[in-house]
Amino acid sequence: MADEHPLSREDLAAALRGLSARYWDKHPFHVRLHAGGCSPDEVRAWVANRWYYQRRLSQKNAAIIANCPLAEVRRRWVERIAFQDGSGDGEGGLEDWLVLAEAVGLDPAEVRDERSVLPGVRFAVDGYVNFCRTRPWTEGAAAALTELFSPDLMAERIRAWQRHYDWIKPYGFAYFEHRIPVVQRDSEYTLSLVLEHCRSREQQDAALAALSFKCDVLRTILDTVDYAGLRR
Amino acid sequence: MADEHPLSREDLAAALRGLSARYWDKHPFHVRLHAGGCSPDEVRAWVANRWYYQRRLSQKNAAIIANCPLAEVRRRWVERIAFQDGSGDGEGGLEDWLVLAEAVGLDPAEVRDERSVLPGVRFAVDGYVNFCRTRPWTEGAAAALTELFSPDLMAERIRAWQRHYDWIKPYGFAYFEHRIPVVQRDSEYTLSLVLEHCRSREQQDAALAALSFKCDVLRTILDTVDYAGLRR
């Protein structure tokens, strides 16, 4: 593979965007979640388990920064930690997620202590953090490119949940509302970074593999939540 | 917890053995596998996915050795690597597993290249290796104590498969036949190690948590294989 020609910027961008076919919006659980077919317990299981993913994001982002020798990249990437962790108590993406938890009828204290997090979710998310710890920072950045696909999905989620799940309190959508504009900006920056720093075919293939791996992480979260529901 | 009294050797041994309730023999997929309810494709999926677990065992064992400062423990533990990897081409537990793969109708080359390994299985097994890399060696040893429960299960598997799956070629059972006497010896040694080196209540609780974690690893493998079958 190493002797193959590098892809042009346009072709690499197209190949990365083409991985949207592997994104978790097509997973049967997600399709059902947005079509109104989930029970309140299933929506709650999704929120409580995804907490573990949210909770590990800042550590994942710090791992990418730890591997990156470029100050100008670190300076931008650290903003993601600030977004998630907030600038004070009761602020930030993590707190917004606990507000969502409350809006779907969960006790935020129980979400925070992670008693409902399924082992399979833990393995997948820890695998993602470990990937970003042990691979070049460009691969960690490429793995973050599911952000190319997530703004549309989050916007659709707000509409779908409002239509199908009127028992969810409307203040719960704050996380998605805060996140959509940020993620749109982040993803364009991340794409430009990957296009700029993955020049050899080997690096480009590794970037594509990283984004594909990240889709496996997200889909495994849904596999796990779905399977636990089937066995209840 | 740290100020609680340590358990006696007998009580710790009993608590460790009591975790058999969390062992994967009670998992619905395993129950079905031994009751004759699995299709050939399901048996093959189990064999091909468990290959990934087998394949990582020597690395897991080396990680435990790497963390252990005691030569007399390392000297014994390294035997596990020899068992799995063999002393020459065509020998050892890994080769025996490929023989099993062939006996259930899989192409050993396809098992070896891991194309059928599901992401959820990879995350769980990698999580186990990573656990043994990053925790004290005594916790890695305690996690291996599923070996207390496995000889009975392997013996039962040979009987159950011979009864229910006459299409499996009989030479395929070599792995289990070779493994049963070794694992019986290993598990008694491992138990004595854990009882000897986990003296504080904190270490004892960590040993129990490690064995519980290991049960999560094994059960997640089955969750993943079962869910993939349900969706086919």
Domains in chain A (CATH in brackets) are 9-231 (1.20.910.10)
Fill in the amino acid letter for B198: C
- Nearest chain B alpha carbon to A125: B123
Q: A-chain residues within 8 Å CB-CB of B126? A: 123, 127, 130
Q: Count Cα neighbours of A31 within 13 Å in the Cβ-side half-sphere.
A: 5
In terms of Cα–Cα distance, which of A151, A155, A137, A127 is closest to A215? Answer: A127
Asked if the model's pLDDT at residue A1 lies above 70, the reply is: no
Residue B121: Cβ-neighbour burial (10 angstroms; 0-12, 13-18, 19+): buried
Integer Cα distance of B135 and B10 in angstroms: 24
Fill in the amino acid letter for A9: R
Integer Cα distance of B46 and A220 in angstroms: 18
Q: How confident is the model at residue A41 (pLDDT cuts 50, 70, 90)?
A: very high
Q: State mean pLDDT over A28-50.
A: 97
DSSP string, chain A: -TTSPPPPHHHHHHHHHHGGGGSGGGSHHHHHHHHT---HHHHHHHHHHHHHHHHHHHHHHHHHHHT---HHHHHHHHHHHHHHH-SSTT-SHHHHHHHHHHHTT--HHHHHTTTT--HHHHHHHHHHHHHHHHS-HHHHHHHGGGGGTHHHHHHHHHHHHHHH-TTS-GGGGHHHHHHHHHHHHHHHHHHHHHHHH--SHHHHHHHHHHHHHHHHHHHHHHHHHHHHHHH-
- φ/ψ of A106, rounded to 5, equals -95, 155
CB spacing of B123 vs A217 below 8 angstroms:
yes
Q: Are A36 and A164 in contact (CB under 8 A)?
A: yes
CB spacing of B227 vs A231 below 8 angstroms:
no
Cα B30 to Cα A132, B16, B45, distances in angstroms: 34, 22, 13
pTM of the model: 0.93
Asked if the model's pLDDT at residue A89 lies above 90, the reply is: no
**Chain A residues touching chain B at CB-CB below 8 Å:** 28, 119-120, 122-124, 126-127, 130, 216-217, 219-220, 223-224, 226-227, 230-231
- Number of residues that this document lists for chain B: 232
In terms of Cα–Cα distance, which of A206, A212, A211, A204 is closest to A5? Answer: A204
Low-confidence ranges of chain B (pLDDT < 70): 1-3
Lowest mean pLDDT among A3-12, A50-59, A72-81: A3-12
Q: Residue B123: how many CB atoms within 10 A of its CB?
A: 28
Q: A-chain residues within 8 Å CB-CB of B27? A: none
Q: How far is B26 from chain A (nearest CA, A)?
A: 14
- Number of residues that this document lists for chain A: 232
pLDDT of residue A2: 52
Q: Are A205 and A2 in contact (CB under 8 A)?
A: no
pLDDT of residue B90: 83
In terms of Cα–Cα distance, which of A163, A114, A98, A121 is closest to B216? Answer: A121
Q: State mean pLDDT over A115-125.
A: 98
Integer Cα distance of B10 and B16 in angstroms: 10
DSSP character at residue B133: H
Q: Which residue has the tokens 């891991």?
A: B114
Distant-in-sequence, close-in-space partners of B76: CB < 8 Å, separation ≥ 6: B189
Q: pLDDT tens digits, residue range A99-116?
A: 999 999 999 999 999 999
pLDDT of residue A4: 83
pLDDT of residue A182: 93
CB spacing of B120 vs A231 below 8 angstroms:
no
CB spacing of A120 vs B217 below 8 angstroms:
no
Q: Which residue has the tokens 């394949």?
A: B55
pLDDT of residue A232: 74
Asked if the model's pLDDT at residue A3 lies above 70, the reply is: no
Q: Which residue has the tokens 């009294």?
A: B5
In terms of Cα–Cα distance, which of A169, A231, A165, A218 is closest to A56? Answer: A218
CB spacing of B226 vs A227 below 8 angstroms:
yes
* Average model confidence (pLDDT) across chain B: 96
CB spacing of B231 vs A28 below 8 angstroms:
yes
In terms of Cα–Cα distance, which of A22, A48, A24 is closest to A34? Answer: A24
Integer Cα distance of A124 and A56 in angstroms: 11
pLDDT of residue B123: 98
pLDDT of residue A90: 82
- State the SS3 of A109-160: HHHHCCCCCCHHHHHHHHHHHHHHHHCCHHHHHHHHHHHHCHHHHHHHHHHH
Of A120, A130, A226, the CB nearest to B220: A120
Picking from B29, B227, B232 by the largest number of A CB atoms within 10 A of its own CB, the best residue to mutate is B227
- Nearest chain B alpha carbon to A119: B216
Asked if the model's pLDDT at residue A88 lies above 90, the reply is: no
Integer Cα distance of B42 and B229 in angstroms: 7
CB spacing of A120 vs B223 below 8 angstroms:
yes
Integer Cα distance of B140 and A20 in angstroms: 39
- With the C-alpha atoms ordered B112, B113, B119, B123, is the resulting torsion angle positive or negative? positive
Fill in the amino acid letter for B125: V
Picking from A211, A220, A226, A230 by the largest number of B CB atoms within 10 A of its own CB, the best residue to mutate is A220
Q: Which two tokens stand for residue B171?
A: 């030479």
* Average model confidence (pLDDT) across chain A: 95
Q: B-chain residues within 8 Å CB-CB of A117? A: none
Q: A-chain residues within 8 Å CB-CB of B224? A: 120, 220, 223
Q: pLDDT tens digits, residue range A155-208?
A: 999 999 999 999 999 999 999 999 999 999 999 999 999 999 999 999 999 999
**How much is the ipTM here?**
0.90
